[in-house]
Amino acid sequence: MISFRFDHVRLEAFGLHFPPTQLSSTEIEERLAPAYQRLRIPFGTLERVSGVTTRGMWPTNVTPSSVATIAAREALERSGFAPAQVGALINCSVSRDFFEPATACLVHHNLGIPEESLALDITNACIGFSDGLIMLSHLIEAGTVKVGMICSGENISKVVHTTFDQILGDTEITREKMLQMLPTLTLGCGAVAAVLCHDSVSKGGHKFVGGVARSASQHHQLCIGNGDFSVGQGEEIAPIMTSDAAQLIAAAAKLGGRAFPDVTASLGWSKDHVDHVFCHQVGRQVNDAFYREMGLDFDKDYAIYKRFGNMVSVALPAALAIGAEEKGIKPGEKVLLTAFGSGLNTRFLGFEW
């Protein structure tokens, strides 16, 4: 079991930024009507299966660094720390401005963070932000930095448009192939940032208690993007993602079933101790399968995927940031984050509010 505990790490503040333009599941299916009719796929399948009603879309030329910077500025303002106090900045998005330099370098420059700091990218599909939380917290716990930031800006509009083009352009596409591409159309754009700090400089942040990690790489072929891509590559790049949704959901639920005893042992929490659960915001099927496997109370769940879609690495931290206010998490309550990402990886993280 890979586990980690922290005594001195505090989650100080979040920042969020979302697109003003919304794309509904109804609009998507209206656009795909010729393929739906030919393959006899019932209208409404996308929303019925996933639970996603709408998602935000940025133009394809909006850079991940620009939206991550907006979220990061808000997080800094909310935290009360100045850019000069930030000792490490980690960007965790799947989408990036360029192959190199690291997107973190652009956000670092935009914010005016000093040279005497770390700036780097960590990418790991949908769980990148969770891994950023873990890595930054180790730096803070060790006393290497007092204040650090994690950010993620996801612009997945290009892969959504490419999926439209491929489905509609291939008059011989099979029902099975189309169903493998439909999960891509649950994706949404968004940006999130978080400020973490050592408890000695905290102004009332939430304690990051620790968590566990598992990597079931035997399932690495269940969700695949066809190559690395960045916004700076232009329109000639046509990224495509395919998923075996049924097997992915089943494997993720079983992996979560193995990780839950790990996290209860590591944190000393039983399922009754947990007051709030934030599961990765993929869609209805994943959440349902996870809660059945865990035996957790579904009433403790909080989800935003219906409104925002699957925002990749932004999804889970954005759900926590929004849910903390909308759900009214109280001081002393225990919060469990259950992150899953293609690969197949999981990270279960515990916070005390």
Q: pLDDT digits over 72-121, tens only?
A: 999 999 999 999 999 999 999 999 999 899 999 999 999 999 999 999 99
Rounded distance between C-alpha atoms, residue 105 and residue 85, angstroms = 17
* Residue 208 one-letter amino acid: F
Rounded distance between C-alpha atoms, residue 98 and residue 12, angstroms = 30
pTM confidence score? 0.94
pLDDT recorded at residue 239 = 78
pLDDT score of 69 more than 70: yes
CATH number of 206-352: 3.40.47.10
How sure is the predictor about 232, in pLDDT bands with cuts at 50, 70 and 90? low
DSSP assignment of 16-78 = EE--S-EEEHHHHHHHTHHHHHHHTPPTTHHHHHH---EEE---TT--HHHHHHHHHHHHHHH
How sure is the predictor about 227, in pLDDT bands with cuts at 50, 70 and 90? low
CA dihedral 238, 314, 288, 24 (to 10 degrees): -60
pLDDT recorded at residue 113 = 98
Rounded distance between C-alpha atoms, residue 258 and residue 251, angstroms = 11
Q: pLDDT digits over 285-325, tens only?
A: 666 777 777 777 778 889 999 999 999 999 999 999 999 99
Q: What is the three-class DSSP state of 208?
A: strand
